[in-house]
């Protein structure tokens, strides 16, 4: 699969897991490129959006506009606790005092529950190897355990693409993009943990400024069981039988 184009990888996933594939998307970067590819091929794949309660207003507005324009089936994944409930239980400014715990409560645990609840066997992401050192070794296909007894094939169609490739696609197809990308932000997450990126700095250098942290945990919480750049994995191992709890609601965009 190393020589495949991203659309080939996507179509393989849709054909191999016709009702058990889902994609995560923050609507702040390359995920919109994959969403557009799915739209072009008429693939009705659910797009999971982690609604943390801390998104920029621009992110939520852009998500609604992009999803509406392309008829995407976006599913908002929400934490078990509201922001107010989290503050009562853990205190204010948890994102500053313990960002790892905040990310676990508002991103990692909700996504893990959703993947189990929905019976997802194939999880598509927009990770690229050029984004950061922590992502440099990702393979196009990986087998991950996202919860006890629940394995998924994690798929990175854009692994070989660069930031420039992403922008070329956006320009070629005239796609709208997150407005904050024109305001000095290279990578956009929750507003308390995101700042503008200095010229020449790494793409994700504006995330968790001043903290010894480079990942929210969505792509590090699961246990990687196997990886295969050539596209050969024992996908039958992913049974998706485990049940879970949490909030999963459909957003028509």
Task: Provide CB contacts within 8 A for 186, sequence distance 6+.
Answer: 197, 201, 203, 204, 205, 206
Tell me how far apart the alpha carbons of residues 107 and 217 are, in angstroms, rounded to a whole number. 8
Using CA atoms in the order 231, 74, 65, 129, what is the torsion angle rounded to 10 degrees?
Answer: -30
Say which residues have a Cβ less than 8 Å from residue 90's Cβ, sequence separation at least 6.
Answer: 98, 101, 105
Q: By C-alpha distance, which of 47, 13, 33 is closest to 161?
A: 33
Locate tokens 């994700």: which residue?
Answer: 204
Told to judge if 216 belongs to the known catalytic residues of this protein, a careful annotator would answer yes
Q: Which of 25, 190, 216, 238 is catalytic?
A: 216
Contacts of 47 (CB under 8 A, 6+ apart): 22, 23, 24, 25, 35, 67, 72, 73, 74, 75
Kindly report the backbone phi and psi dihedral angles of residue 140, in degrees, each rounded to the nearest multiple of 5, phi listed first. -65, -40
Nearest to 187 by CA among 100, 128, 101, 146: 128
Bridge partners of residue 133, in order along the sequence: none
Active site residues: 216
């Amino acid at each position: 699969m190393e020589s495949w184009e991203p659309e080939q990888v996507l179509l393989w996933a849709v054909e191999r897991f016709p009702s058990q594939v889902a994609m995560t998307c923050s609507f702040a970067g390359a995920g919109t490129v994959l969403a557009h590819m799915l739209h072009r091929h008429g693939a009705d794949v659910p797009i999971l959006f982690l609604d943390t309660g801390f998104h920029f207003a621009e992110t939520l507005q852009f998500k609604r506009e992009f999803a509406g324009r392309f008829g995407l089936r976006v599913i908002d994944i929400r934490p078990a606790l509201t922001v107010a409930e989290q503050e009562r239980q853990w205190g204010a400014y948890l994102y500053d005092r313990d960002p790892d715990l905040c990310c676990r409560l508002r991103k990692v645990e909700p996504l893990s529950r959703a993947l189990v609840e929905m019976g997802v066997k194939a999880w598509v992401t927009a990770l690229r190897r050029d984004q950061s050192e922590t992502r440099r070794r990702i393979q196009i296909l990986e087998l991950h355990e996202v919860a006890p007894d629940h394995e998924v094939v994690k798929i990175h169609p854009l692994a070989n693409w660069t930031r420039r490739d992403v922008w070329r696609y956006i320009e070629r197809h005239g796609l709208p993009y997150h407005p904050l990308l024109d305001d000095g932000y290279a990578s956009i997450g929750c507003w308390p943990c995101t700042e503008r990126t200095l010229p020449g700095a790494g793409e994700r250098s504006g995330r968790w400024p001043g903290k010894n942290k480079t990942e929210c945990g969505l792509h590090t919480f699961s246990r990687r069981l196997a990886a295969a750049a050539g596209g050969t994995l024992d996908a039958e191992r992913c049974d998706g039988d485990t049940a879970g709890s949490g909030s999963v609601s459909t957003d028509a965009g």
